[in-house]
Structure 1
Amino acid sequence: MNLPNKLTIFRVILIVPFIILLLGGQAGWFGENTFVTDMIALAIFIIASLTDLIDGKIARKYNLITDFGKFMDPLADKLLVCSAMIALIEMNRIPSWVVIIIIAREFIISGFRLIASDNGVVIAASYWGKFKTTFQMVMICLMIANFPQLQILTNIIMWIALILTVVSLIDYLVKNKDVMKNTK
């Protein structure tokens, strides 16, 4: 269990207090002031997001890449982002159809990677996928913060994240179309 893998596990663990604070604040579990719980939840989300950046850099720099990390790191990212977006639906801060498109893309890519893996092909993350993830995380941060003055910016970022979600899906499928042709 190396440091990058510990950071990945830490990211998964952080989802629990993040969701409790975010939804518990809305439910009134911590009093009337949801601003405080939203800001603490936002801080936890940012810390969790940064562990994704840090664990990958450490793993690559010190050659600490493991099978566990290859499997768990993207799963931890999906759990964090999907948990946040589903909570934001409940808080009426993001339309459900946007989240459905984003989660559908994740299922499609995960299935595609599974098929590729069965055929001995590893599909690396693309720049489009990395841009998508960055914009999704910024979008989530803005939606958690929920500052009325930033609503137009939040909507623009949401649309960019949505477009990048679709573009990255198309990019993966086009670049790796031979994977489907060579299935067992």
Structure 2
Amino acid sequence: MNLPNKLTILRVILIPIFLLVLFLTPSPMNRYIAVVIFVIASLTDFLDGYLARKWNLVSNFGKFMDPLADKLLVMAALVAMVELGDLPSWVVIIILAREFAITGFRTLAMEANIVMAASWWGKVKTTIQMVMIIVVLLGLPFAFMGAVEMILVALAVFFTVLSGVDYIVKNKQVLKG
């Protein structure tokens, strides 16, 4: 169990802690503490991949768990935000649909022994989703924040769809098998 894999496991462990704090801590502290936990978990996402590549510690466990941990973290936050009234459910449905579709697509590729490289658009998508989650959860009381939040939600949806389409178009050979 190397350090990048331990960071991935830490991210998974932080998910229920994030949710417990968000729903069981008095408002408004719940949001601030939850955002700190979410930021720490998000940073482990970037750090584990960087360290795994830098130290040549890429493992099958990491290849499987890292993207799963990312999806679990983002999905838990998005579903919680629907419950809190911070996001419309259609936003979460679009993001969930993309994640399920691409996961299914990756499964088909694995069965056909096709290696699908991670897309730059996918990294942009994840980053924008994480920034959007942080900003919306904080709910800062500035007049312009409503517009900033709407723009971030729109960008998150846009890059979610774009990265999904890009992934399928670049790997369309998977559909031919």
Provide the TM-score with structure 1 as the length reference. Answer: 0.93
Give aligned pairs, total: 175
- Written as runs of structure 1 = structure 2, the 5 A alignment for 1:143-154 is 143-149=136-142, 150-154=145-149
1:157 to 152, 159, 163: 152
Percent identical pairs in the alignment equals 55
CA distance in 1, matches of 2:117, 2:39: 24
User: Which ranges of structure 1 fall in alignment gaps of 5 or more residues?
Assistant: none
Residue in 2 that maps onto 1:18: 18
1:101 to 94, 106, 118: 94
CA distance in 1, matches of 2:8, 2:171: 27
1:6-54 C-alpha deviation (Å, 9 max, x unpaired): 00000000001100011223xxxx4xxx111210110000000000000
2:123 to 115, 120, 130: 130
* 1:179 aligns to 2:159 (yes or no): no
What displacement does 1:148 show? 3.2
CA distance in 1, matches of 2:115, 2:173: 13
CA distance in 2, matches of 1:93, 1:138: 14
Residue in 2 that maps onto 1:41: 34
CA distance in 1, matches of 2:127, 2:58: 22
What displacement does 1:121 show? 1.1
1:51-86 C-alpha deviation (Å, 9 max, x unpaired): 000000000001000000000000000000000000
Residue in 2 that maps onto 1:63: 56
1:86-134 C-alpha deviation (Å, 9 max, x unpaired): 0000000000000000010000000000000011112121111111101
Residue in 1 that maps onto 2:80: 87
The Cα RMSD (Å) is: 0.8
Residue in 2 that maps onto 1:142: 135
1:113 to 85, 106, 110: 106
SS of the counterpart of 1:166?
helix
SS of the counterpart of 2:28?
helix
The amino acid across from 1:160 in the alignment is: L
CA distance in 2, matches of 1:137, 1:155: 14
The amino acid across from 1:133 in the alignment is: T
